Each structure stands twice: as structure tokens, then as C-alpha cells.
């Protein structure tokens, strides 16, 4: 077996003399011939597919593919297949040995197809990871790196000053004061004078951004819907583009509770223009009708962005552009602070905004579901790229109202980011996406950066950005994500599961590289205790099953490397999974809440006074000097480019990188410490160097203790919120249920999950 880790550049040009596998018996038209497409496979993993050329025994695809690769195999299969109504038949294949690619030579020309007289013309070149420059900029992306930007990072929707931040070092010696996402968003929207463009998985008009615990006096109690109406009445162009949940109608609320029809109806007699857009995928043929219906039902537009203009700063004549992007939807249940109250705020800050997506309880009884998320604000030239994404989506998905887009040019705005202090506040930033030409009207001049896949242009730069930054990581990775599953082709079993993205295996390979070089690297991964919903339900159990497969693959490889290098360390010294939980004392529960009915799930939650904090973040920090924030989960739905549509930003401060400052102490480092302060209940000196085994072991010790307290029979407050993920990792890398925690607390749901044989395009 040879390891290919880098990029494959493949041109699948044409084929000729293919066999005719269609017959009049199976086809309506007796003149039908083979409907050919080509694909490249390694084991169970399909690396790429071309478009189908109907009724042509000498098809010309003329497609170029750029494929990130991290695979061990003894062969690559280049196959030509005949697309039938519901399946595909093999017309012939070419076998390429990895050894033939690893010498750097380009394979080019006509190659005979086994089993027929046909042949295929192709060009293939392999570029190993070692030959790819480890730059901060991700190469070959639709959007280039922008310099001279400003980035504000947010934890949770609201973040008041708290004692937990006292251990974070600052330049002026003052206590770290975190910014507040929804207060800043309100101020920005309220100050817009020309345009406000919004995209969302869900935008709920009743959401209140500024509440009683905010220092901001303006806007308290005003709903987001009324705010947008007021701005539209002032003459601001307000365009809102939200996902159309197929099962949501005027009469039904749908499965996901996105409020899309409520939002449309709320604005229908106002100057706010709303487009409710389904996740359409354009296929042809009988089977394709069902594929289209599946896509519209199960895939989403998942981007969460607000782009707007803001008034000129002092001394300037031109207005500016700002953009907000990240994981926070402007919808119910998202307002939370790092304290993550269960009961105390139900009748105050969360009055009218009660939400619990994991337990069947009411606002009279509680608890609410705590919500942890990450968002950011972008200023300077990078905001133009977020604006371009909105414009491309509107032109494709709302083409009948394209004229409603304001004519905007760079000359109309001041593009330099506002600098309020030292020059080292400036950032460099780059926008990434998961999106296809089904959902965006791409610029013709940039087609070379978005290769075709099955005949469509696909921007999968979020996936490639994660891979690029993982490969250049030196000391540690800190990841927070709603899901963590993938690299199924390398699992011990079920390798055909459709979760082929590379991120888990790339993380593993980077750890192995460091171990084999006699060096150390730490990877901290924070996920929710379980996906939102009933943890015993089929879909949630299947997702947990895929997550278990992913964990076990990673730990087994690390364990083998530890043994081979005779280190005497444990796999959790290099890779640890965590979740968040909130434990309270029953005596602290407000007396004005209604007592739950005895024997109900609500009574169990009231008695134990605990619940997981839902991790909805989509973020990775690399070595404290680079961060990715966006809407993309670490699963195939978000990373594939052809399922859910996503957006993310990768950014860094050029004067606070390892190369420039040694130990980074810029805004990214402070943000990571602020997150850890939230999760750990404060930070200390040992947390300043997360790339040390001592730090990893200290964090694990606290997380282990917190889980023991959280899962005990006696309700009790825990120190911070960070807990070990409840699995036992053996010295051999085996991943089993933690003794005494085979099921999640207060549920009958197994921690390790179970396969349920749903369409795994849905659960991966």
C-alpha cells in the first residue's frame, strides 16, 4: 500500500469506441446508446465524476479536476460507466499504480479500457504535500487573500464582562473585555443607510438582539423583523434570502422549525424583500426527479451572513461595508451568554424566546437549552467578497428580481479597514465556500478556480482550507464543531459510507508525522454531547455511530504510532474529544416556575438540574495564529460542496504569527483563551501553551473530573463547563462506552450510537 497525500490534478478529456450497453428493451427510444461518464475511485471512495454524455459512444467531457487526497491504496481505478435510469454499468476501466504517480511524472495520453475495445484520453499529475507551500493563503481559491482587513471575533450571542476573563493577558493590563455579537449587529443594522443583505438557514422576525442585560440602551426589545421594516421604511434596500424548508407551508411548521413561511408572511406587505429559496440541484432523467426532490427536502442553504453599509468614520467622505458571518442564526434559542443558564433566565432574558431542541419541556417548566456559538464581523476589502457571495446567490436563485440588487462598485466605498490603534490590529482574510453552480452565478473570469464535478462547477474551498491549514499546523489544533465525522474510506468497517472528506484523516496524519519525527502535537476537539433532537432517535443514533467510527479510526492509528515509537504515552495525550454541560443546584431554580408532572422527562431534568450545552460552533484555531470561522460543519453535508451551501472565513494577523512573534499573542490567542475561560471557568499559566503535553493533560484532568460530577447521582454545580466526551479510549486505540455512562445522562440513548440504515447522504 502506498500513501498518496497531496493533490491529484486530473483532466478527463474524452473516450472512444465504447460498447453500446443500451437496448430497445430497456429504453423508450430504440436509437439510444450508452450514456457515458467517467470517475476515479480509490477503494470504496469515488474521488470525482464527470458529467453524463447521453447517447454517445465517443463522449467528450473536457473536464479538469483538482482533488485533495489522503489515501493508502495499491491502485487507482479510472472507470467509464453507462448511466442507466437508476444505476450505472461498467464499460471499462484503467488501473493506475500509485508508484507510477509518485515519481513526479505526468501521465498523459490514450489508455485502453479493460474488457472492451474502447479507450480513454486523460492527463494526471500528483503533487505531494511536501511540494505544496505551507502559506497562510489557501491557493487556487475563488476568493483570494485580502490584506488590510479587520476582524472581530465573537463567542456566543452576548458576552458581558465576567470574572472568568481575569487570567487573559492584555497589552494595557486591563481585564479582557469581549465584544457582544448581537449588540454589534444591532448597531450596524440600525446605522445602515443604503443596503442590508441577509442570508440565513433561519431568520426569525421575533428575535430580539438587544436585551435587558446589554449595556446598549438603543434597541432594547425591538425585534429583528421590526428593525428591518423600519430600515426599509427609511429607504434602505433590505433583501433577505432564507432557505425554503420543503415541509414548511402556510399550514405546517415543518420538521426543522425555521419559520421560513412565517418570515415571508411577516414581510409581505412591507418594503423588505424576502426570497425563500429551496436547495435545488439540477439533474436530468427519471431518477433525477427523485434526486431533486431528495435534495430539496434534505439539503439546506446553511450560510448565515449580514452585509451592510455603515456611515463614514471621522475625516472620511465615503461609507464603508461590514459583513457578519459565522454559526449564529438570527432565530429562536440562540441568545445566550458564557454562563449558559438553564432555569434562571426563562422568565427574564428568554421570555418569549424559550427553546429546547433536545427535550420535550415547556417555558413554564424548563429547562431551556443552552447554546454555544461563534461568529465574526469583517471590515475592509474582505467584506466585498461576502457581498459578492450574496450577489451571486441572488442572481442565480432570485433571478426574476435581479434588478433589486443595488448597483455597487468598489469606488463607492472606503475599502481600508478602520484602524483605531496600532497597525498590528490589521488582519489578512480569505473567504471560502461550499456551493455549486446550482446555487450561485459564478464569475466567468474565475471558472479556473472551481473545477467541474458531474458537469457542475463546485466551490469546495472550505474543505480545502481545512486541509491546507491542518497540514501546516505545527503545535496544536483547537476545533469546535457541531459535528465531527468523515474519512469513512479509512474506517475499520462500513467504508462505503458517503462521508469521504479528508479532515479526520488529515488530522490523524499530522499527529503521526509529529510522533514519528520525535515531536509533539495536541488536538483538542469540542463537539456537542449529542446532535440536537431526541438522542435515542434513529437519525441521531446513526450520526453518533458515524462519529464513533471516526474516533476509533483516529485513535487506532495514533496508538500504533505510540507503540512503534515506544513512547509510553496514551492516545488521549495527542487527541482528546470534549463536550459541554451545565450543572446547577436545584435550590437555585426560580420558585415561579411550574413544578413538572411526576414521572415525566421534565421532572427528571428538574430533579437533576443538568443539561448539555449545545455546541453549534464551526471553528478551527491553528497554533494561535490562524482561525477559520463559518457555517460549515465537519461532515460531508458541509464539506462536499454539492449538498448544503456554506461560507467561512480564514484569517490571521500578519504581525502576530509564529514566524514574526514566536509565541503568538494577538487577537486569535486571546479569543482562544476567552473560549477556554468560558469552558474551564477561567484560565491559568498552563493554558498559555496549548501545544504542550502538560496543557493537554491538565485540560483532560479537569474535563474528566467535570464529567464525573455531571454524571453523578447528586446534582451539583461543576467547575466550568468542559467535560470529557463520555468514551473510554484504550491504550490500543479502542473506543468503547465509558463504564457507568453507556447511555447519556437522563436518557436511554447509547453514547456510541447505532446504524439505522437511513440514506446516509442524510446523516453524513
Hey, which residues are catalytic here?
Answer: 302, 304, 309, 616, 618, 623
Contact (CB, 8 A) for 38 and 50: yes
107 by DSSP, 3-state: which? strand
CA-CA-CA-CA torsion for 436, 433, 448, 11, nearest 10 degrees?
Answer: -70
The set of residues, in sequence order, having a beta carbon less than 8 Å from that of 133 and lying 6+ positions away, is 139
The set of residues, in sequence order, having a beta carbon less than 8 Å from that of 730 and lying 6+ positions away, is 559, 736
Q: How far, in Å, CA of 473 to CA of 480, rounded? A: 16
Read off the C-alpha cell for 26: 430497456
Read off the C-alpha cell for 357: 431542541
Q: Which residue has the cell 456537542?
A: 528
Q: What is the DSSP string of 170-220?
A: -TTSSPP----HHHHHHHHHHH-SSEEEEEES-B-TT-BSS-TT-S--TTT
| Length reported for the chain | 764
Strands laid side by side in the 60-73 sheet: 60-73, 2-16, 119-128, 107-112
Read off the C-alpha cell for 257: 422549525
Q: How far, in Å, CA of 171 to CA of 87, rounded? A: 62
Q: At what angle do helices 224-233 and 260-267 cross, to 10 degrees?
A: 30
Q: How far, in Å, CA of 143 to CA of 218, rounded? A: 36
Parallel/antiparallel/unpaired status of strands 476-481 and 522-526 = parallel
Read off the C-alpha cell for 515: 510522533
Q: How far, in Å, CA of 630 to CA of 608, rounded? A: 34
Q: Which residue has the cell 431542541?
A: 357
| H-only helix segments in 273-338 | 286-298
Read off the C-alpha cell for 759: 440514506
Cross-strand bridge partners of residue 41? 46, 77
Q: How far, in Å, CA of 106 to CA of 209, rounded? A: 56
Q: How far, in Å, CA of 447 to CA of 537, rounded? A: 42
Q: How far, in Å, CA of 168 to CA of 624, rounded? A: 14
Q: Which of 73, 99, 86, 88 is nearest to 34 (CA)?
A: 88
- Neighbour tally for 409: CB within 10 Å: 6
703 by DSSP, 3-state: which? helix
Phi, psi at 546, each rounded to 5°: -65, -40
Q: Which of 493, 575, 559 is nearest to 526 (CA)?
A: 575
Q: Which of 357, 404, 380 is nearest to 241 (CA)?
A: 404
The set of residues, in sequence order, having a beta carbon less than 8 Å from that of 116 and lying 6+ positions away, is 17, 18, 19, 91, 92
First to last CA, the chain: 27
With vertex at residue 66, the alpha carbon angle to CA 136 and CA 435, rounded to the nearest 5 degrees, is 80
* 3-class SS shares of the chain: helix, strand, coil, % to 5: 25, 25, 45
H helix or E strand, kind and range, residue 760: helix 760-763
Read off the C-alpha cell for 394: 441572488
Amino acid at each position: 500500500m502506498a500513501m498518496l497525500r497531496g493533490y491529484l490534478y486530473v483532466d478527463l478529456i474524452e473516450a472512444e469506441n465504447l460498447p453500446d450497453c443500451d437496448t430497445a428493451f430497456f429504453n423508450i427510444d430504440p436509437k439510444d446508446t450508452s450514456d457515458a461518464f467517467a470517475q476515479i475511485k480509490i477503494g470504496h471512495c469515488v474521488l470525482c465524476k464527470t458529467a453524463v454524455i447521453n447517447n454517445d459512444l465517443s463522449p467528450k467531457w473536457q473536464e479538469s479536476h483538482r482533488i485533495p487526497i489522503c489515501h493508502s491504496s495499491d491502485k487507482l481505478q479510472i472507470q467509464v460507466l453507462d448511466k442507466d435510469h437508476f444505476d450505472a454499468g461498467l464499460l471499462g476501466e484503467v488501473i493506475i499504480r500509485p508508484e507510477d504517480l509518485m515519481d513526479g511524472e505526468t501521465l498523459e495520453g490514450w489508455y485502453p479500457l479493460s474488457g472492451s475495445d474502447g479507450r480513454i484520453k486523460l492527463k494526471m499529475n500528483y503533487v505531494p504535500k511536501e511540494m505544496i507551500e505551507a502559506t497562510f493563503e489557501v491557493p487556487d481559491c475563488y476568493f483570494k487573500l485580502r490584506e488590510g482587513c479587520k476582524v472581530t471575533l465573537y463567542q456566543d450571542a452576548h458576552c458581558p464582562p465576567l470574572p472568568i476573563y481575569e487570567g487573559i493577558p492584555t497589552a494595557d493590563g486591563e481585564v479582557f473585555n469581549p465584544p457582544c455579537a448581537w449588540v454589534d449587529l444591532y448597531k450596524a443594522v440600525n446605522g445602515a443607510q443604503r443596503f442590508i443583505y441577509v442570508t440565513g438557514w433561519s431568520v426569525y422576525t421575533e428575535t430580539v438582539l438587544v436585551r435587558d442585560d446589554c449595556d446598549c440602551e438603543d434597541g432594547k426589545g425591538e425585534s429583528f423583523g421590526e428593525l428591518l421594516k423600519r430600515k426599509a421604511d427609511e429607504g434602505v434596500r433590505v433583501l433577505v434570502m432564507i432557505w425554503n424548508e420543503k415541509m414548511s407551508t402556510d399550514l405546517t411548521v415543518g420538521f426543522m422549525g425555521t419559520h421560513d413561511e412565517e418570515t415571508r408572511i411577516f414581510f409581505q406587505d412591507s418594503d423588505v424583500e424576502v426570497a425563500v429559496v429551496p436547495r435545488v440541484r439540477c439533474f436530468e432523467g427519471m431518477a433525477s426527479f427523485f434526486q431533486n426532490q431528495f435534495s430539496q427536502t434534505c439539503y439546506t442553504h446553511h450560510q448565515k451572513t449580514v452585509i451592510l453599509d455603515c456611515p463614514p468614520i471621522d475625516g472620511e467622505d465615503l461609507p464603508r461595508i461590514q459583513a457578519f458571518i459565522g454559526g449564529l442564526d438570527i432565530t429562536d434559542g440562540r441568545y445566550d451568554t458564557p454562563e449558559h443558564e438553564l432555569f434562571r433566565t426563562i422568565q427574564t432574558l428568554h421570555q418569549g424566546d424559550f427553546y429546547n431542541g433536545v427535550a420535550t419541556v415547556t417555558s413554564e417548566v424548563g429547562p431551556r437549552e443552552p447554546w454555544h456559538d461563534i461568529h465574526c464581523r469583517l471590515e475592509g476589502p474582505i467584506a466585498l467578497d461576502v457581498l459578492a457571495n450574496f450577489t451571486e446567490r441572488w442572481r442565480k436563485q432570485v433571478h426574476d428580481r435581479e434588478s433589486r440588487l443595488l448597483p455597487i462598485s468598489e469606488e463607492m466605498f472606503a475599502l481600508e479597514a478602520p484602524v483605531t490603534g496600532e497597525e498590528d490590529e490589521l488582519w489578512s482574510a480569505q473567504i471560502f465556500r461550499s456551493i455549486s453552480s446550482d446555487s450561485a452565478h459564478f464569475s466567468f473570469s474565475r471558472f479556473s478556480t472551481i473545477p467541474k464535478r458531474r458537469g457542475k462547477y463546485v466551490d469546495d474551498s472550505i474543505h480545502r482550507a481545512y486541509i491546507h491549514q491542518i497540514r501546516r499546523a505545527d503545535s496544536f489544533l483547537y476545533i469546535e464543531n457541531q459535528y465531527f465525522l468523515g474519512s469513512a474510506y479509512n474506517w475499520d468497517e462500513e467504508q462505503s459510507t458517503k462521508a469521504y472528506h479528508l479532515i479526520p484523516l488529515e488530522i490523524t496524519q499530522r499527529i503521526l508525522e509529529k510522533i514519528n519525527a520525535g515531536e509533539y502535537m495536541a488536538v483538542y476537539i469540542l463537539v456537542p454531547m449529542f446532535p440536537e433532537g431526541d438522542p435515542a432517535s434513529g437519525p441521531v443514533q446513526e450520526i453518533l455511530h458515524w462519529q464513533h467510527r471516526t474516533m476509533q479510526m483516529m485513535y487506532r492509528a495514533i496508538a500504533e504510532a505510540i507503540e512503534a515509537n515506544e513512547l509510553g504515552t496514551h492516545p488521549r495525550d495527542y487527541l482528546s474529544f470534549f463536550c459541554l454541560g451545565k450543572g446547577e443546584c436545584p435550590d437555585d431554580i426560580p420558585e415561579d416556575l411550574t413544578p413538572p408532572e411526576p414521572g415525566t422527562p421534565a421532572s427528571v431534568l428538574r430533579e437533576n438540574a443538568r443539561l448539555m450545552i449545545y455546541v453549534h460552533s464551526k471553528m478551527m484555531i491553528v497554533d494561535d495564529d490562524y482561525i477559520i470561522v463559518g457555517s460549515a460543519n465537519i461532515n460531508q453535508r458541509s464539506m462536499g460542496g454539492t449538498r448544503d451551501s456554506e461560507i467561512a472565513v480564514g484569517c490571521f494577523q500578519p504581525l502576530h504569527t509564529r514566524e514574526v512573534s514566536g509565541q503568538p499573542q494577538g487577537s486569535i490567542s486571546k479569543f482562544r483563551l476567552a473560549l477556554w475561560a468560558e469552558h474551564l471557568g477561567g484560565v491559568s499559566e498552563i493554558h498559555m501553551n496549548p501545544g504542550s503535553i502538560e496543557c493537554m493533560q491538565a485540560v483532560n484532568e479537569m474535563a474528566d473530573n467535570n464529567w464525573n460530577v455531571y454524571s453523578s447521582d447528586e446534582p451539583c454545580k461543576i467547575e466550568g463547563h468542559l467535560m470529557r466526551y463520555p468514551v473510554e479510549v484504550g491504550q490500543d486505540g479502542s473506543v468503547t462506552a465509558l463504564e457507568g455512562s453507556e447511555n447519556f445522562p437522563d436518557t436511554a440513548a447509547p453514547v456510541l450510537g447505532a446504524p439505522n440504515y437511513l440514506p446516509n447522504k442524510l446523516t453524513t
